[in-house]
Every structure is written in C-alpha cells, then in structure tokens.
Structure 1
Amino acid sequence: MRLALPALLLASVSLTFPVFAADKSPSDAKTPDARTAEASPVKDGVIKEGPASLLPADSVTHHRLTADGREIAYTAHAGTLLLRDDQGKPGAKVFYIAYTMDGAKPGTRPVSFFFNGGPGAGSAYLNLGAAGPKTLRFPADDPTDGANAKLVDNPDSWLPATDMVFIDAVGTGYSRPVDEENAAKAYYSVKKDAAAFAKVIQMWIGANGREASPHYLVGESYGGIRSIQVADALQEQQNLIVNGIVMISPAIEMGFLDSTDNPLGAALTLPSFIAAHLDETHQLTPAAIDAAYSYALGPYLTTIANARPQGDAAKRFYAEVAEKTGIPENVVAKEGAMLDPMAHDVRSRDGRLHGLYDFTQTIADPYPDGIDNSNSPEMTLSGFGRAYGNAFTGYVGNDLGFRTALTYDLLSMKVNGAWKYADEGPFPTRQIPVLRKLLALDPALHVFVANGYFDMACPFGTTRWTRDHIPVGADRIGIHLYPGGHMLYARPASRAALWHDVQGFYAAARGTETH
C-alpha cells in the first residue's frame, strides 16, 4: 500500500500492553516478577527510561490571533496524556496541543480532535498547514521550495468556529510508547489505534469538563479511515457520539487506492489525471470534472474491465485517454491505459517529474532516462513537506514552551512498516460498512469531505463513489473539491476556501452561530 500521507489512530477501552521479562538463563535465581520489574522502563509507577521519559511537563501559554475579521484571545496547552494497559500499567505518552478560545462557554463551544494519517504521520501537517493559529507559507514562485518556507499567522485558522486538539498517534510526532519493542502489537493496527485515540479523546474531555460540548473529528489521508474507526470506538467504548466528521484528502477504502490489476481503482483515479491536464490547459470547471468522472466510470471502465483492446480499437482508445490526460500515448499504451500514478514513466515528461500528491507540481527529473518506480523521488513527502517538521519543532519549543531533546517524528516509516490493516476478518479492514452503520445509527451525524483535484494518492473519485453508494445518510455527506493536491491547504487560496466551507459546516451542523 502506498503511504497515504497526512492526515491518525487506537483499540478497546482496555488497551493491552504486555511487559516481557528480561532474557535470563534458566539458572537465574531471580523470580519472574523480579526479572520483569528489572526489564521494565517503569519504576514505582514512573517512566524512568526510554524516549517516553524525555517528554517534559505540560506547558500552557496565552496568545492572540486575528482571524475571521476579529482578534481572538486563546490558550495553547501543549502536553501529554498517559495511556495505561488493562492492568493499569503505563503504555504510552500521547502528545497533544489544545487551542481553546478564552471566555467561550464550554457547554456550547464545539471542540474538534485532529489527527493525520500515514499511518505514521504526526499532526504537524494539519496544525501548521490547515487549521492551527500558525501556518507554514511556501514561496509563491516555487511552492516546492521547503528551505525558504516561513511560519506566519494563519488568517484561515478554524479557531473562530471550534476549539482544537491536535493529537500525535503513538509512535509519531512526540507521542512515544513506553515499551518500544512491543508497541506494534499494542498500537499499530486499525482497531487498536482507534481504541487508543478514543481513550485519549475521552481523557481530554473528562480532564477539561467538555462532556456537553459538540464533538468533531478531523482526519487527513489515512485519517479518513481513522476518523470512521475512532467515531465507532468512541460510541462503542467511551459512550460518546460525535456530531460531525471532517475528512481532508481521505483514504476510506484502501482497495480503491491501488490501480494495479484493479479496473475500478484505475477508473476512480483517472478523473484526477484529467483534472490536472484540464488545469494545465486552463479548462478546469465543475462541468468538466463531472464529464471526466462520467467518462471514467462509463466508457473507460467498460473498456479496461473487458479483454484488452487490439488493433485499431486499441489505438483509438489509447489516443483518447492520452488526449484527456496529457500523458503520452506510448506511455498510455504501455500501461494498458490503467495508469499507475506511482510509475516513473507516467510521472516523467519533458525533463520534469510530476508529483504523486499534486500532479500539477513538478521538479526537475533526476532520472529523465527512467528508473525503477520504487526509486523515483516524490517531492512532497521526501522534499518540501519535510519543512513542516522543523517548523513545528521550533514553534512548539519557542512559542509554546514545550522543549524536549526528542526529534519530532513527522513521518515514521517504522510505524508505517509495522502497520496491520486487519486484526481479523477481511484485509484490508473495510470502512464503508462502518460508515453506513454510523450514519444510520446517528441521524445528526454530518460528514464534510475535502479533496484536491490533483491528488493522485487519495483521488477525489474514490470519495464520490463512496458517497454515491451509501444508502442511508448520503445527503449528510458533503464533498468539496479544491484546486490543489493531497495537501490542498498548502495553496493559500484553497486554504481560505476550505476554511470558508468548514465554517459553514460547523454552523449548519449546530443550527446556530458557533461563536
């Protein structure tokens, strides 16, 4: 599975986190309990060893922000919450930043819980990219230049509409498991991740007296899957029914994101290829996008799902796909028109390499003569997107007073590589049945989905297909498309448009003003 970026996770109310004894010879005279205590990084109930022990005390600071045409006073709380296993032993310290508007009524003020995706991504992307009081601004003349990105006040912060709690999943950002050897078993799977997130959210709500507040979940990328699973875990395990879910560039069904020998996956990806070409030729309109989707799910899908065309029929078909996407006809033919957005020859053109996460962004192709797909660089995750990590470290330490020797793990490949998409049942775990259940059980649940036109990692076609196949509550799922890619908020105009639409979503869901 491709790493479906930004945009995160835990399991049941009782989180199991086994502690194993040290490796001793049979002749060792110590009892099993003594050996276990000796091996444990926890002594007398306090975390004494390992990365989790390096996390400092919470820091509370006060700030002001001009947003939505007014000055807002708010409090930032950067700190950790301690997850324990079903025996009460420390399992992980989970890092979060909470932004709360000063003077607001906690009983009516919405609170939203943010997490990114990956799996393995920290919450810095959504915090400094979309909704937090600060945003990372990339140079207008070259948005792929991460070295010259600057942290500035965010005029499109969501703070006027909702208090915000950004949470790093265990093993990402500053969140650390107590026992790293056994963290994968305890936390790195769809269900266990969702349960841990649900518990962290319940703990924060209880500690801050926010039970009566309207509650929302905001997830990006794999965070789409996480938001569905966390909503279900909150309801089943913590007795908390959320008011709404916001998904940004979501992965919902992982099977849709693989176009290899998958006609439906290829068809749902094609409109994003077409959208990028429409943008390049200055023809991008909602009507053109509707036509692209109809073509992809109609003539295109019918053709690729049947026997591969031959002769003149094949030439006509490949020429048609090439014309609609701007991808050379010989490449389309080589791929059998089932275009793999990760393939180097699909992304490489005229000495430029197009981005998986925004197909309209390009860098100079370091391998214009071709290279194995797995070695073809991607400018978002490996390039300019890394600037979020350094900016976040400075912001949290200097502005919020939370200083630690730990490196902020923006993208943990260790977590991603260990991830289990199915604890039991079908692989990967399916989300549409869970979403269908939530919409049927909770008639007040509303879902807001934001997609970038040019996102090839989580194409907007997958969201549209999902919404169109929901039998109950589809009218409560709003799909919003913006110029941009996976991190659509990196474009200032799209970030502003997203905030405008999200503000309306919060107001409509509450049936009243949110401030």
Structure 2
Amino acid sequence: MIFFFSERTAPRRRRTLLRSAACCVTLAFGTANSWAIDKTTTTKPAAPDADAKKTAPTFTGQAALLPADSITHQTLTVGAGKLSYTAHAGTLTLRDDKGDPTARVFYVAYTLDGAPDDRRPVSFFFNGGPGGGSAFLNLGAAGPVALNFPAGNPTDGANAKLAPNPDSWLGATDMVFIDAVGTGYSIPVKPEDANKTFYGTKQDARAFAKAIELWTSQFGRHASPHYLVGESYGGIRSIEVATALQEQQNLILNGIVMVSPALEMKFLDPAANPLAAAMLLPSLQAANLDGQHKLTPDAANEAYGYAFGPYLSALAGPPPEGDAAHSFYADVASRTGLDAGIVARLRGAPDPQAHDVRSRDGRLYSLYDGTLSIADPFPEGVDNSDSPDPVLFGFGRAYGSAFEGYASQTLGFHTELTYDLLNLNVNRAWDYRGDGELIASEIPALRKLLALNPTLRVFIANGYFDLVCPFASSRWVAEHIPVGRDRIALHVYPGGHMLYTRPATRTALSRDVKAFLAP
C-alpha cells in the first residue's frame, strides 16, 4: 500500500483518495503451514573507531532521535523447516554534492544466515503513496512477521494481531525494506529543503538508488542478484529507481516485482480518459461477479474483452442517444451492479470515488477493494470528500502502530519518533514532473529498461477488485510492450489493492514470487 492523491496534486478526478497478453491470469488459493518464530539474541554494531567518530555527522531535530542500528538474530519455523536469519534495523545517510547530510534513511534488512552472498538474491522493497512507509509490504506480505486481521471482520484494525508469517519471502531472497524520505522513520536533515530535494518523481528515484547503492556497498552484495519490489505508486517508483540505478549507480537489475502497481499517471483519471475508464470497468465487473459467486478467469477475460472493445468504442465515440444510449447504459449497469440511472448520469463511466457509486444499501464500499464495505456513516448522501475509505482511513492504519511495536520489541530499534505510515504532507508536495514533461511517463522508460537489459524480468501482481490500480491496466501495458513482453509475468488474485490481507491470496502470492525468484 498505498496510492492516494491530495487535491492540489491530483488529476481532476482524484482528490483526497486514490485511487495479460503473454502470461496466465489465475484465480489462486492456498493453505498455510504451521510455524513458529523465536528471537534469539540481540547485538549492537561495533563501536566506531576514533577516526570514524571524527567524521560522523552530528544531527539535530528529529534526525537526532533516530538511534544506533540494532541487530538481532532470529529464527522462523515454517512447517518442518527452520530459517535462521539476521534482522538489521538501521539508517543510511544521504549526502548532497558537498558531502553534507541531507537525510537519514531507515531500513530493515533480513538476511538468511549461512547463505552464499554471491548467489543469494537481495530484494529492495518500498511502498507508494507517494508518502507511504514500507511497513505495509513488510508486515503485510513478505517479512517474517505479518499483521493478521480477524477472519470474520477484515475491517477490524483494533483487533489485528502480529504473528509469524508462514508466507514470508525469506526462503527465496534476502530483503531490505526502505522507507522513503519523509515516511516511516526516514527523516530529512533539513525539512525546509525536503520538498525540492526529495518529494518528486525524479528526486525520489535518485534518493532510493543512492540508498540501495550504499546498502549494497556496506554489506558487500554487489555480486548478488538484485531485485526491486514496489507496491502501488511503487510501480512507478520501481521503474524510475531501476533507471536511476542503471544510469547513476551502475547497478543493473535482475528483476522487478510490482504489487498492485500504478504504471502510468495518465491512466488514473477515468472521467477524462476513456482508456482509463476501460481499464477500470473489468474491476467493477469482477467485484459484482464475486458477489454472485460467478467470478472465473474466463469471466474476467470476457470483461476485459468487452471493456477494450464495445465499451471503449462507445466512450470514445459520440455519446449514444435514444435506444442505443439506453441499451449501453443498461449493459454497463448490469455488468457492474450499479444503478442504471447513476450510470446514465455519468455517461457510462462510473466514478468509483463518488459517494453515490460507492454507497449501496447502507454500505460504503472501498476504492481499494470493491467487495469490502463498512456501514455508510452518511447513507442519506454526502460530499465525496466526507466518505471515508475503510482501507486508507480505517483498518489500514493498524500497520503503523503494529510496526512501532515490532521495531521496538522485536527488532530492538527504540525511538521517540512516531512511525509515519502515510504522510499526507509529502503527498501534497509531490512533484510528478519528468525530464521536460508535465507528468513523468513510465511506459517509455519501461520499454528502454527491457530493451537495454535483455535478461530483466518483471512480475506484476494485481487484485481483481482493486479500483485504484485496476488489473486491466497492467494487462494493457504488457500487451503494448514491443520488446520483452515475454519477460513480463502477470498474476491476478482474489483481493483488492492490498491483496495480501487475504491469507489465501498472500499464500498464493508468496508461492508465485518464490518461483519467479528461483534461479
């Protein structure tokens, strides 16, 4: 998680909320193994020598509240096997061209004990937003500990519990979770300069690329296979960081894993872009089919074909009139389960953020999962901005408190700082421009990466019910990549934007990623 927009930076339709050609699309389910996790020992890094002390920077403000790195040695038992690993919670110092510190970047690294570094993959994780910390992927999908929500009420964040993660990716890769500057525990040294230095598509990519290079050098992992893992806006970020790593740090990746990715900013405004509306429709239809227990891969394929065939033609052409209009709007309403009058008023392009689209039968449905709902606090109708999303403003916030406790009690990283899970100020300040572009364009950059690196592979995971970053957008992008399309693996699972909150889907995602990472 997570992708969200502020009013100032969003495309017109997105305000406070956000929102497979050559590969198989599958419904995936699985069962978890038994497990146990034990914390064994805690150590601190060796004290720096006298020369190092002389050159170590002195921090002030919030940057001074970050403690020394903490190293713990732990085990994770999965089924009959046991994984012994080292957890390193610490910071990396970014510097400007003069050598002065600009940020302290927080990370958590999990490295398998006894594994040969030159053959052991290392994956660098980040979330999205912009403004989201890495706790979502760490405690949600891949780390050795996972936050589980009550099976009978997945929106109940108050009773979410941490437990060992039977689906951790640790068996396949070492993992380094990095908080973007201004999120989590990553602190800019000079907050007044952070907007210009870090809060933009290109600036952010440079900072991540340098942090990855610093970690790789510090721990001697240049010979390891290298992967990026990004969620939501982390899809855009992964393309930008991969480019920056290659061009600025001379590090060429082996692969990229994208979870519920945003791939192109231009695809996030269905009200203004018929192509974006076509990308959204299959997710609306999938959520409706799931409620009727009729969702199958074939049904999802049919929805995709309709969206990019008759539906897109109708939206892109002159607005239908008379009987043609009635027939078209009725078809869209039948497919999505929405009221035909609302569909007609919106001219066949439903806005999933609109209250009258999200509110049905006293329930308010989430942008992040079209099958998930809470009791609507304003069933009589209200301005869209007063319709709280249960993921963004509800149970999803539990990851922040859970990570604070985990970092302190298990990782031994003690700080007075609050873990900044979703920093809306960073989001509002974000500069989406590219090099000479009003909005950075990622598809040309992805084409170049695949062409310049003939062994680069890309794994994309989407949830069927995600209305923020719809699964059809990933499929459409993959279908229009001229070089390396056979190296893009698409997977679609039952779930929403944070598809890993469903235990069966988290298991399936872990299984598929491990196969992708296998040599």
Q: TM-score, normalised by structure 2?
A: 0.89
Q: Within 5 Å, which residues of 2 pair with 1:369-388?
A: 369-388=380-399
Cα displacement (A) at 1:68 = 6.5
The partner residue of 1:141 within 143, 146, 152 is 152
Match of 1:434 among 437, 441, 445: 445
1:47 Cα shift? 3.2
Query: 1:162-181: per-residue Cα shift (whole Å, max 9, x none)?
Result: 00000000000000000001
Equivalent residue in structure 2 for 1:224, among 228, 235, 258:
235
Q: Are residues 1:359 and 2:370 paired?
A: yes
Aligned pair partner of 1:412 in 394, 399, 423: 423
Residue 241 of structure 1: aligned partner? 252
Matched-pair contact (CA < 8 Å) for 1:4–1:221: no
The CA distance in 2 between the partners of 1:377 and 1:398, in whole Å, is 32
Return closer, same or farther for 1:302/1:454 CA change in 2, 3 Å cut-off. Answer: same
CA pair 433-423 structure 1, distance change in 2 beyond 3 A: closer
Is the 2:404–2:419 contact (alpha carbons within 8 Å) kept by the matching residues of 1?
A: yes
Counterpart in the other structure of 2:87: 76
Match of 2:379 in 1: 368
Deviation at 1:270, TM superposition (A): 0.3
More contact order relative to length (CA 8 Å, sep ≥ 6) = 2
Choose the corresponding residue for 1:464, options 475, 492, 495.
475
Matching residue's letter, 1:226: R
Q: Deviations over 1:355-375 (max 9, x none)?
A: 000010000011111111122
My pick for the range that moved more, 416-425 or 169-178, is: 416-425
1:118 aligns with 2:118: no
Equivalent position to 1:154, from 165, 170, 177: 165
Give the equivalent residue in structure 2 for 1:93. 104
Query: What is aligned with 1:513?
Result: none
**What CA distance in whole angstroms lies between the structure 1 residues aligned with 2:295 and 2:18?**
25
- The aligned residue for residue 215 of structure 1 is 226
> Are residues 1:486 and 2:497 paired?
yes
SS at 2:108 equivalent: strand
CA contact (8 A) 1:318 1:337 kept: yes
Alignment pair present for 1:194 and 2:205: yes
| Distance in 2 (alpha carbons) for counterparts of 1:432 and 1:110 | 26
Matched, 1:501 2:500: no
TM-superposed CA distance for 1:4, in Å, is 7.8
CA distance in 1, matches of 2:415, 2:514: 35
Q: Is contact 1:130–1:157 with CA below 8 Å preserved after alignment?
A: yes
With over 3 angstroms needed to count, the CA separation of the structure-2 counterparts of 1:5 and 1:247, relative to structure 1, is farther
| 1:322 correspondence with 2:322 | no
Between the aligned partners of 1:191 and 1:100, the Cα distance in structure 2 is: 29
Q: Tell me, in whole angstroms, the C-alpha distance in 2 between the residues paired with 1:216 and 1:503.
A: 12
In structure 2, which of residues 142, 151, 159 is the aligned counterpart of residue 131 of structure 1? 142
TM-superposed deviation, 1:67: 2.9
Q: Deviations over 1:275-325 (max 9, x none)?
A: 001100111111100000000001111111112112221111111111111
The alignment-based identity, stated in percent, is 64
Check whether the contact 2:59–2:189 (CA below 8 A) recurs between aligned residues: no
Task: Tell me the SS of whatever aligns to 2:504.
Answer: helix
CA contact (8 A) 1:249 1:449 kept: yes
User: Which aligned pairs between 1:16-95 and structure 2 lie closer than 5 A?
Assistant: 46-67=57-78, 69-95=80-106
Task: Find out whether 1:251 has 2:262 as its counterpart.
Answer: yes
| CA-CA distance at 1:423 after TM superposition | 4.7
2:321 is matched with 310
2-side partners of 1:361 and 1:95: how far apart?
A: 33
* CA distance in structure 1 between the partners assigned to 2:18 and 2:245 by the alignment: 24
User: Gaps spanning 5+ residues in structure 1: where?
Assistant: 7-42, 511-515
TM-score, normalised on structure 1? 0.90
Do 1:45 and 1:89's aligned partners in 2 also have CA atoms closer than 8 Å?
no
Q: Residue 159 of structure 1: SS of its match in structure 2?
A: helix
Cα distance change on mapping 1:130 and 1:68 into 2, 3 Å = farther
Q: RMSD between aligned alpha carbons? A: 1.4
What is aligned with 1:170?
A: 181
SS in 1 for 2:347: coil
8 Å Cα contact 1:68/1:160 also seen in 2:
no
Letter of the aligned partner of 1:487 in structure 2?
M
Give me the whole-angstrom Cα distance separating, in 2, the residues matched to 1:159 and 1:207.
21
Amino acid at match of 2:326: K
SS of match in other structure, 2:314: helix
Equivalent pairs counted in the alignment come to: 472
**TM-fit CA distance, 1:140:** 0.5
1:403 counterpart = 2:420: no
- Cα 1:390/1:217, change in 2 over 3 Å: same
In terms of mean alpha carbon deviation, does 60-69 or 312-321 score higher? 60-69
Matches of 1:94 and 1:401, distance apart in 2? 17
